[in-house]
Structure 1
């Protein structure tokens, strides 16, 4: 595997090309200035929108501002991520962030103004100024919030409280990222060293059981020590959600969180119930794991170690790209043409270099094209990451191409569908083209573990959130004991009775940052289930599904997420997509146990 000591060593065709956004920094500065001018102009509309014409002028200028601002921000962010140690790009990003605050302040008057109108007045404005039809759906959708928006004075008070209300999440972030000190583990030389997160993710997969146990105990040590502080921050976060939902006249905190995507509560409850009704294959997998690892008893620190050892595939970037094109062939020539363009036109930043941001992401820049960040390691995980991010990339590319700016961005609810469909097509292709039983087992194990993490674990978290918010709504005090008991009960229900519980298991709730962004994790599970459903049909060669899926990728946010998925044949208001995904999981576990 090639390692690079700096960015200049990386071949040009493996680095993204930021000059597609701005050929030189002066152009960035010109746009920056333009945004400042438009911001000043937008402020003048406060109190001065009295007819269709002035409403259109405001919205048109705001959209123009948003077009330029997205480019300015994206350029600075991508530059920083190339090398986070450089100070000049950091200063551009700081400037962009300051600009964002100014833009927010200049446009904050609009929503209260809009909702102070009655619908009839708004419709008369649209009739009088024909060009408003472009914004019509967006404007009318805002009216859904009417009963949940307060008077101008109350809204101002709430916005001033915004920072205070975010304190629990911020406090947990500081504990979790800055202050936490994990326990010690023994390194190869027999020295005691402090555990880091990066080390933990490797050690918990180590074949040496004692190393796994030691890492597990060391990792949980600070969470158990800080249990009361973390319980207080989580309890405060939950109470804030519940209080805000009441103030804004929502039936519950859950319904407040689902409102934006227009998702009924039943979809959330149905996800949990259907999963629990079909949980036995997951329990079976725990039993298989215990058998394969030849353990008298299985514990939580045995749940991440790969069950197939010695299968280390080296997959170069070139080979990974070729494999992706073959695996995604069922999606048709047009899809593959876009993927080839990503590589040929330098949309992807491939290699890990010192100072480069870790991980991987896709960023769609409207009016330009998507940018994909990778840190390719020539292994199976990197192949999956490439295929995943290119799924997001094609979704961004097609939505931008076929949608006007106002509906080009897509909701998080549907985002994971495009990436996961690609992963399912990939695993299918790899299994179909692999005869070595050890490699096949390794692939199945990889996919089953991914299914477990993206689907079952997230459903369990979603149920934990629902139960704890429900208690807060009923006035039950939340503390360490309540969190421990709730989490431990759920962990048993989902993972089965085979696992022997260490004391640490029940503290699992204390390390999850997503719990400070309420009712968010369920979207991973619904997205994953939708993708399994679609990929199964695509692999059967169902032309209607292939066509409707490609149309879905072109739709951006032109409809509510559930409606967009319905057009592809996935109806999340019924148990079917969840049942189909769980049936597929059962088949994978069965095949794995047979090999």
Structure 2
């Protein structure tokens, strides 16, 4: 595995070419001033839009401002993430964020103005001014919210309360990142060292059970100690969400969250119902894990340790890229050759270096290209990460190439589909091409654990959110004891009675930042089941599915998410995609058990 002490040591072909966004800082500064000027000009439209021509002029300027702002923000963020210690990069990002506040302020008048119009007035504007047809879909989309917009005075009050309403999330962030201290654990060398989140992620997979247990207990200890404080924070977040849902006259907080994507609540409810009806395979996997680990009692700190060993090998970035491209050949020559070019064009920043942001992500910059951040470790997990992020990159590339700026971005609801299709194709390819029995068992275990983390865990979280929001809507108390009880019950419900519950388990809710972005995590699960159906149908030779999927990748947000998926052949308003995915999971567990 390559290790680098500085970015200068990394081969240039494994780094981003950020000059693709701006060739010089002078260009960035020029855009910065342009955005400030556009923001000033847009403010002057407040109270002045009385016809279609003026409306078109406003919208055209706003789109130009948005496009320029996204570029300069992306540049600042990408620079900063390459080395978070560099002050000048941080300042660049901070300047972009501050400018974003000016951008938001400049156009804050527009939505209340638009919704004050009668729909027939807007229709007249569009008919009389041809250029408005480009904006037509978004303008009418805004009218869907009309029933949920308050009077101007009330909207102004809510806007002023924005920081207060978002306070629980900010407070939790401070508790979670600044105040939580995990204490000391024993290292492999027998030394007492401070536990970090990164270290915990490694220790919880340790083959030494006492080491796993020690890390698990140390990790949860501060959450237990702060449970009442965090419960007050989460309770406030949930109650704020319920309150704003009521004020805006949504039937429930759930339906408010689903409104923007036009997702009926039945999709959310069917996901939970269908999963619970076929949860038996998850319970069976829990039993298999207990058996393979040779334990009298299976505990929560035993659920992450790999069950297959001795298959890890070094996979260079070059080999990983070639393997990925081979696995994606079912998507067609154009897809593969396009993705192959990404490496040559330096769309990837590959290596871990001091100060670089951890993890991996893709950022698509409209009018430029995708930028993928990796911290490649030359192992099989890095191969999967590369393949996952490349799915996001291809989605962003195709949508930007085939859609105008207004519809090039895609909804988070469908964001994980392209990345997961790639992962499914990769693991199917590896399973198909390996002759090593132990490697096959490792891959099956990897597939099962991926399924568990991306599907079952997210559905479990989604059910927790549904239950706790309903309690708030029924004016029931939300205390640490209530959260503990709900979380412990559903944790056992999803993992099975073979698991002996530690006291720490019930505090699992206290560490999840996603709960401050309500009804978000279910999208991971719906994306996963959609991807499985798409990938397996393509592998089965379904030419129509392949064509529809490539069209999906090029569609951005030109239609609502459920419509886009339905056109590929995945209908999430019905339980079949979920049942199909759960059937595949059951088959994976059965094959794994028989090996």
- The question of 1:37 aligning with 2:43 is answered no
Select between 106-115 and 476-485 the one with higher mean Cα deviation.
476-485
Cα distance in 1 for partners of 2:189, 2:352 equals 28
1:559 equivalent in structure 2: 559
Matches within 5 A, 1:226-265: 226-265=226-265
Select between 224-233 and 400-409 the one with higher mean Cα deviation.
224-233
What is the DSSP-based 3-state SS (H/G/I as helix, E as strand, rest coil) of the residue aligned with 1:570? coil
What is the DSSP-based 3-state SS (H/G/I as helix, E as strand, rest coil) of the residue aligned with 1:366? coil
Shift of 1:534: 0.6
Cα distance in 1 for partners of 2:95, 2:510 equals 35
Cα distance in 2 for partners of 1:410, 1:26 equals 31
1:89 equivalent in structure 2: 89
2:121 equivalent in structure 1: 121
What is the DSSP-based 3-state SS (H/G/I as helix, E as strand, rest coil) of the residue aligned with 1:374? strand
Distance 1:13 1:189, change over 3 A: closer
What is the DSSP-based 3-state SS (H/G/I as helix, E as strand, rest coil) of the residue aligned with 2:145? helix
Matches within 5 A, 1:234-313: 234-313=234-313
What is the DSSP-based 3-state SS (H/G/I as helix, E as strand, rest coil) of the residue aligned with 2:531? helix
Query: For 1:522-544, what per-residue CA distance to the aligned partner results, in whole angstroms no more than 9, with x for missing partners?
Result: 00000001001111101101000
What is the DSSP-based 3-state SS (H/G/I as helix, E as strand, rest coil) of the residue aligned with 2:261? coil
Cα distance in 1 for partners of 2:437, 2:499 equals 28
1:165 equivalent in structure 2: 165
2:222 equivalent in structure 1: 222
1:461 equivalent in structure 2: 461
Cα distance in 1 for partners of 2:364, 2:80 equals 17
Matches within 5 A, 1:98-177: 98-177=98-177
Cα distance in 2 for partners of 1:9, 1:505 equals 44
Q: What is the Cα-based RMSD across aligned positions, in Å?
A: 0.8
Query: For 1:428-461, what per-residue CA distance to the aligned partner results, in whole angstroms no more than 9, with x for missing partners?
Result: 0001111111111111111111110110000000
1:384 equivalent in structure 2: 384
Select between 216-225 and 384-393 the one with higher mean Cα deviation.
216-225
Cα distance in 2 for partners of 1:101, 1:388 equals 32
2:25 equivalent in structure 1: 25
Cα distance in 2 for partners of 1:171, 1:100 equals 22
Cα distance in 2 for partners of 1:587, 1:326 equals 25
Cα distance in 1 for partners of 2:578, 2:503 equals 33
Shift of 1:12: 1.3
What is the DSSP-based 3-state SS (H/G/I as helix, E as strand, rest coil) of the residue aligned with 2:376? coil
Cα distance in 1 for partners of 2:81, 2:190 equals 36
Point out 4+ residue stretches in structure 1 off by more than 6 angstroms. Answer: none
Cα distance in 2 for partners of 1:354, 1:182 equals 23
Shift of 1:292: 0.5
Distance 1:251 1:548, change over 3 A: same
- Structure 1, unaligned runs of 5 or more: none
Cα distance in 2 for partners of 1:220, 1:369 equals 41
1:332 equivalent in structure 2: 332
Cα distance in 2 for partners of 1:584, 1:189 equals 42
Query: For 1:318-353, what per-residue CA distance to the aligned partner results, in whole angstroms no more than 9, with x for missing partners?
Result: 000000010000000010111111011111111111
Shift of 1:194: 2.7
Cα distance in 2 for partners of 1:221, 1:308 equals 30
Cα distance in 1 for partners of 2:180, 2:347 equals 37
Shift of 1:310: 2.2
Shift of 1:566: 0.2
1:356 equivalent in structure 2: 356
1:191 equivalent in structure 2: 191
Shift of 1:466: 0.2
Cα distance in 1 for partners of 2:393, 2:190 equals 45
1:575 equivalent in structure 2: 575
2:495 equivalent in structure 1: 495
Shift of 1:507: 1.1
Cα distance in 2 for partners of 1:97, 1:302 equals 42
Select between 476-485 and 450-459 the one with higher mean Cα deviation.
476-485
What is the DSSP-based 3-state SS (H/G/I as helix, E as strand, rest coil) of the residue aligned with 1:268? helix
Cα distance in 1 for partners of 2:168, 2:11 equals 45
1:418 equivalent in structure 2: 418
Query: For 1:553-580, what per-residue CA distance to the aligned partner results, in whole angstroms no more than 9, with x for missing partners?
Result: 0000000000000000000000011111
2:428 equivalent in structure 1: 428
Cα distance in 2 for partners of 1:481, 1:93 equals 41
Cα distance in 1 for partners of 2:97, 2:570 equals 39
Matches within 5 A, 1:473-492: 473-492=473-492
Cα distance in 1 for partners of 2:63, 2:26 equals 23
Shift of 1:188: 2.9
2:512 equivalent in structure 1: 512
1:5 equivalent in structure 2: 5
Shift of 1:493: 1.1
Shift of 1:147: 0.7
1:585 equivalent in structure 2: 585
Q: TM-score, normalised by structure 2?
A: 0.99
What is the DSSP-based 3-state SS (H/G/I as helix, E as strand, rest coil) of the residue aligned with 2:568? coil
Cα distance in 2 for partners of 1:142, 1:92 equals 33
Query: For 1:54-104, what per-residue CA distance to the aligned partner results, in whole angstroms no more than 9, with x for missing partners?
Result: 000000000011111111111111111111111112221121111111111
Shift of 1:182: 1.1
Cα distance in 2 for partners of 1:367, 1:106 equals 24
Cα distance in 1 for partners of 2:83, 2:488 equals 42
Shift of 1:193: 2.7
Query: For 1:113-164, what per-residue CA distance to the aligned partner results, in whole angstroms no more than 9, with x for missing partners?
Result: 0000010000000011011000001000000000101111111110110101
Shift of 1:18: 0.9
Shift of 1:183: 3.4
Cα distance in 2 for partners of 1:454, 1:239 equals 27
Query: For 1:229-271, what per-residue CA distance to the aligned partner results, in whole angstroms no more than 9, with x for missing partners?
Result: 1111111111111101000000000000000111000000000
Cα distance in 2 for partners of 1:347, 1:198 equals 26
1:450 equivalent in structure 2: 450
